[in-house]
Amino acid sequence: MSTPTVQPRTVMTGADIARALTRISHEILESNKGPEGLVLLGIPTRGVTLAHRIGALVEQFGGAAVPVGALDVTMYRDDLHRNPTRSPQRTQIPPGGVDGKVVVLVDDVLFSGRSIRAALDALQDIGRPAAVRLATLVDRGHRELPIRPDFVGKNLPSSRDERVNVRLDETDGSEAVTIEGR
């Protein structure tokens, strides 16, 4: 007997994603009291794209450019023995580094918290920020570590058996957040 195919359910459209990123950008500016001293680091793959979008919005609303980079966490993950096929991405720290800056880590989906734990370890090897904040497009719960986002696009209660997919024009050719059962 075959398992019935469950179609993914769209929970955020491109317009919803744009609104969420606008709100996150305003919240980052408000929390930091402006763009000064901010650095955005996206976690590959889609976190980097989101960080660049947030950076452009922060510049638009805050009146000053914010350095944006990428922080690869692959070699800091605690599940490499189970998923050895991960390809490391390039870490790109903006000129000026992270020392003494407020670093906002940007990721697409926050689930167990393990990617963010790995990001904190990777960041520690790069420098000493004044503070680290977390922005995520989707928080789906099910944390295994005591990590919580400072800026959230959408809280999306989900089952552990479901999969949340973020699709962005730059990486996927379409724009949506979907959820599907396994």
How confident is the model over 53-89, as pLDDT tens digits? 999 999 999 999 999 999 999 889 877 666 656 677 8
DSSP 2: P
- Alpha-carbon radius of gyration of the chain: 16
* Secondary structure (DSSP) of 30-70: HHHTSSTTEEEEEPTTHHHHHHHHHHHHHHHHHSS---EEE
Residue 132, in any domain of the structure: yes
The CATH number covering residue 54 comes to 3.40.50.2020
Model pTM score:
0.93
Residue 30, in any domain of the structure: yes
Domain hosting 36: range is 9-76+88-181
Pick the more confident residue, 80 or 153. Answer: 153
Helix (H) or strand (E) holding 29: helix 14-32
Q: Are 41 and 123 in contact (CB under 8 A)?
A: yes
Q: Which residues contact 5 (CB under 8 A, 6 or more apart)?
A: none
How confident is the model over 87-120, as pLDDT tens digits? 778 899 999 999 999 999 999 999 999 999 999 9
CA dist 102 to 23, 108, 157, Å?
19, 20, 29
Residue 1, in any domain of the structure: no
Residue 2, in any domain of the structure: no
Q: Which residues contact 66 (CB under 8 A, 6 or more apart)?
A: 35, 38, 39, 40, 55, 58, 59
Residue 167, in any domain of the structure: yes
What is the model's pLDDT at position 87? 74
Residue 41, in any domain of the structure: yes
Residue 83, in any domain of the structure: no
